[in-house]
Amino acid sequence: MTKPSVTTLEAAGHEVAITNPEKVFFPKAGYTKLDLAKYYQTVSEAALRGIAARPFVLKRYVHGAEGEPFYQKRAPEPHPDWVETVELRFPSGRTAREIVVSDAAQLLWVVNLGCIDLNPHPVRADDLDHPDELRVDLDPGPGVAWDDLRQVAMVVRDVLEERGLRGWPKTSGSRGMHVNVRIERRWNFDQVRRAALAIAREVERRVPDIATSKWWKEERHGVFLDYNQNAKDRTVASAWSVRPTPDARVSMPLDWDEVPTCDPAAFTLVTAPARLAERGDPAAGMDEAAGSLDGLLALSAAQEKAGLGDAPWPPHYRKQEGEPPRVAPSRKKASGAEKGGSGRRRSTQPLVVVANAKHQKDALAGLERWKERHPAAASRLEADDVLVDSMRGRSSTWTRIRLNLRHVPEGERPAPEPPDPDYDPWEEFRSARRRPSAPKTPSSS
């Protein structure tokens, strides 16, 4: 058996082995694993600003950017004695000892495991209960113009500044933008999430045509401000992260005067280091700008007094006090005369599931087959009628595609069909539990 090739990089007083350095991680652009590692070595000082001393979820692309990633919360064993860890407790009650990245050597070590983007928690390892970062995640729906996204970001800036906070914008490296806010470590996760929800609702109030705080996809339009990214155990790709896109796009921190004209495609694994050398890091002063949540929590209290209580939480969190029913509007039980005493669920939106697949490309192929079977209905679909959901399994994601047939006349709507394909994300787990356990061996990327 041929031994894998190894290249050694020096960082923070350590020699870090990069195994299989010639492996192509970005096939369309031709960038290798070593290209990725050298990128992070070059921008390490700026990249560490977003991840240093934070617990870190390993999102491993062992087959490169076009392969399916898997999530690894627990630190691999064995690991070098200079790699730090900390034990976290999750909403499920489970615990895991996660990696803490604090220097360039530790950063390169996780890159060697196949991590393309960096996904830290919003807390420091020395205080896991009090976030020091509020994250505003701007998630554009299908067909949303980039100009609308940039406009929403500027409204977020205004809402923050009016309450004494500074936002630090960055491209997500995908289709969206993030605005991070450094805060004092005085509030718990629930309070930080509530402050983020207040931002989302205030932005929605100001620009209702292009922004939404609605959790359920079937109710959204325009840019969704994902307040639940501030719930405990949620992570977001940090600044200077390379994203698993064909062009190796980077999540780029910006100055506010760049936001109205920025082009996310301009920031890649190749161009980002030169930008850093020329302009420095726009987020360099972030750690010295920690602010108070008092203003946002006062806004939240005013919204609650006006009748806006809590909003839905992610599905795997326990039901919260004051949370509305955690069921999509299309699946709510009808009441009174609407249900006619039957108690059955009555859809408020005509949704059909057309595909459940382990890989997104298979789900999209199933969607195309549905369109071929129902061309008349397919011709009436608008961009935001196609709901592509990335669903979390135990250690990886899978894809569900639903269609909202609201623009198809009721008498012309195709009858529901079994999803094609119809992947069961839990079958592999059930099968694994039935099989005898095999000895664990270290994985290599």
Other CB atoms within a 10 A radius of the CB of residue 76 amount to 15
Q: Edge-to-edge strands of the sheet including 397-404?
A: 351-357, 397-404, 386-392
Tell me the average pLDDT across 135-162. Answer: 95
Supply the pTM of this predicted model. 0.79
Q: Are residues 244 and 185 in the same domain?
A: no
**Is position 267 within any domain?**
no
Give the confidence band of 166 by pLDDT, cuts at 50, 70, 90.
very high
Q: Are residues 109 and 156 in the same domain?
A: no
Residue bearing the bigger pLDDT, 389 or 363: 363
Q: Are residues 124 and 244 in the same domain?
A: yes
Q: Are residues 370 and 298 in the same domain?
A: no
**Is position 329 within any domain?**
no
Max mean pLDDT among 4-13, 343-352, 399-408 falls in 4-13
Nearest to 281 by CA among 250, 245, 311: 250
Number of domains in the chain: 3
3-state secondary structure of 141: coil
Classify 340 in phi/psi space as left (phi over 0), alpha (psi -120 to 50) or beta.
left
pLDDT of residue 170: 98
Give the confidence band of 330 by pLDDT, cuts at 50, 70, 90.
low
**Is position 173 within any domain?**
yes
What rounded mean pLDDT belongs to the chain? 89
Contacts 24+ apart (CB under 8 A), 324-328: 328/216, 328/218
Residue bearing the bigger pLDDT, 70 or 185: 185
Q: Strand (E) positions, 61-127? A: 70-72, 84-89, 95-101, 119-120
Q: Are residues 219 and 105 in the same domain?
A: no
Q: Which domain holds residue 99?
A: 6-129+238-248
Tell me the average pLDDT across 48-74. Answer: 93
Q: Are residues 108 and 167 in the same domain?
A: no
pLDDT at 343 exceeding the cut of 60: no
pLDDT at 432 exceeding the cut of 70: no
pLDDT of residue 395: 61
Residue 174 near residue 183, CB atoms below 8 Å: no
Tell me the average pLDDT across 204-221. Answer: 93
pLDDT tens profile 378-414 = 888 887 788 887 777 666 778 888 888 888 888 889 9
CA distance 374 to 368: 10
Q: Are residues 144 and 293 in the same domain?
A: yes
3-state secondary structure of 26: strand
- The label of the residue with tokens 């359920």 reads 216
Do β-strands 95-101 and 133-140 pair in parallel, antiparallel, or remain unpaired?
unpaired
pLDDT of residue 337: 39
Residue bearing the bigger pLDDT, 233 or 335: 233
Residue 245 near residue 173, CB atoms below 8 Å: yes
**Is position 74 within any domain?**
yes
pLDDT at 139 exceeding the cut of 50: yes
Tell me the average pLDDT across 67-76. Answer: 90
Give the confidence band of 320 by pLDDT, cuts at 50, 70, 90.
confident
Exposed e or buried b per residue across 213-234, where buried means at least 16 C-beta atoms within 10 angstroms of its C-beta: bbbebbebebbbbbbbbbbbbb
**Is position 312 within any domain?**
no
CA distance 300 to 347: 31
pLDDT at 443 exceeding the cut of 50: no
The token pair that represents 342 in the structure block: 């039957």
Give the confidence band of 90 by pLDDT, cuts at 50, 70, 90.
confident
Q: Are residues 375 and 355 in the same domain?
A: yes
pLDDT of residue 406: 86
Q: Are residues 45 and 146 in the same domain?
A: no
Tell me the average pLDDT across 25-53. Answer: 97
**Is position 327 within any domain?**
no
- Residue 208 CA, chain-centre distance (Å), reads 23
Q: Are residues 117 and 195 in the same domain?
A: no
The mean-pLDDT minimum among 87-96, 156-165, 245-254, 291-300 falls in 87-96
Residues 6 or more apart in contact with residue 277 via CB below 8 angstroms: none
pLDDT at 335 exceeding the cut of 50: no
**Is position 440 within any domain?**
no
CA distance 75 to 85: 7
**Is position 297 within any domain?**
yes
Q: Are residues 118 and 197 in the same domain?
A: no
pLDDT at 329 exceeding the cut of 90: no
pLDDT at 71 exceeding the cut of 60: yes
Tell me the average pLDDT across 131-153. Answer: 95
Q: Are residues 195 and 147 in the same domain?
A: yes
Widest Cα–Cα separation across the chain:
73
Percent of the chain, pLDDT > 70? 90
pLDDT of residue 339: 44
Supply the CATH number for residue 142's domain: 3.90.920.10
Residue bearing the bigger pLDDT, 2 or 232: 232
pLDDT of residue 425: 79
Judge residue 364's burial from the number of C-beta atoms within 10 Å of its C-beta, 0-12 exposed, 13-18 middle, 19 or more buried.
middle
